[in-house]
Structure 1
Amino acid sequence: MMLFTEVRGLPVVPPAESGPLGTVTSLAVDIASGAVSHVRLRGGRLRRESALPWDAVRAVGPGAVRVRSAAAPDTVPPRHDLLGRRVLTETGSGHGTVLDVAFDPGTGRLLAVFTTRGEVPADRLLGLGDHALIVRAG
């Protein structure tokens, strides 16, 4: 298990001995599949933000995110970061703010969301938008 906050700031390293592709800025999530969909990174000559699909990731460890190849990054998916996002139940009740997210670094599968009002199991996640993370009341 790893936390999103542990991955932020790690270098993204290709398999060749060349330098890092950039630094992780955040992890994008697909709520429908309950998994990380992309690694967002900032780097390169112009220091622009780009994204690599999760299936390009070979390993995530405490020192780096290792990718399978230095392939061109995807177009950047819409930015809906979980960290700091307001949490609402499907009935509109507040459930705090997202502090961190636990995930399996091998598969990208989300395990739990930690909010200011407690832990929310990943199977209770319903949607993520500009305004909030929506969860099933439990």
Structure 2
Amino acid sequence: MMLFTEVRGLPVLAPEPAGSGPLGTVSSLTVDVGSGSVSHVRFRGGRFGREQALPWDAVDTVGPGAVHLRSAAAPESVPSHHDLPSHHDLLGHRVLVDTGTEHGTVLDVAFDTRTARVLALFTTHGELPADRLLGLGEYALVVRAG
């Protein structure tokens, strides 16, 4: 298990033969709320420091020192945070319960680095189990009442 805040800032490394250095550093992880798992690793790097994304299945391992890729998969350039509605960063997002009440903001997210499965969300109002995720948009993360 790892926290999103532990992964943010890690170098993204291509496999040994292809990589002569980091491709960039992790800026965020994208969560697919429907499956309850991390779908993409977003990172900044390259010549212009633009944000890029790689699907989770391109990741070999995530450890305390780096995110290692399986292959030299070509990253997708991410034009803008708002142009991709399925790519909202959970950290700092407002949390709303489906009953209409607020549940603070997301401080961190725990996930399994092998399966990419989200395990729990830590908010300013306490811990939420991942199976309560309903939807994620620009305004808020919506969770099922417990």
Q: Could you say which residue in structure 1 is the equivalent of 2:2?
A: 2
Moved over 4 A (4+): none
- Alignment match, 1:105: 113
* CA deviation after TM superposition for structure 1 residue 75, in Å: 4.4
Structure 2, unpaired ranges of 5+:
79-83
Rounded to whole Å, the distance in 2 between the matches of 1:121 and 1:75 is: 32
Where does residue 40 of structure 1 map in the other structure?
Answer: 42
Q: Determine helix, strand or coil for the equivalent of 1:21.
A: strand
Aligned residues: 138
The Cα RMSD (Å) is: 1.0
Do the aligned partners of 1:21 and 1:70 also contact (CA within 8 Å) in 2?
no
2:20 maps to which residue? Answer: 18
In structure 2, the partner of 1:72 is 74
Are the aligned partners of 1:126 and 1:134 in contact in 2 as well (CA < 8 Å)? yes
Conserved? CA contact 1:11–1:22, under 8 Å: yes
Note the C-alpha offset of 1:95.
0.4
Tell me, which stretches of 5 or more residues in structure 1 are unaligned? none
Normalising by the residue count of structure 2, what TM-score does the alignment of the two structures yield? 0.91
2:92 to 72, 78, 84: 84
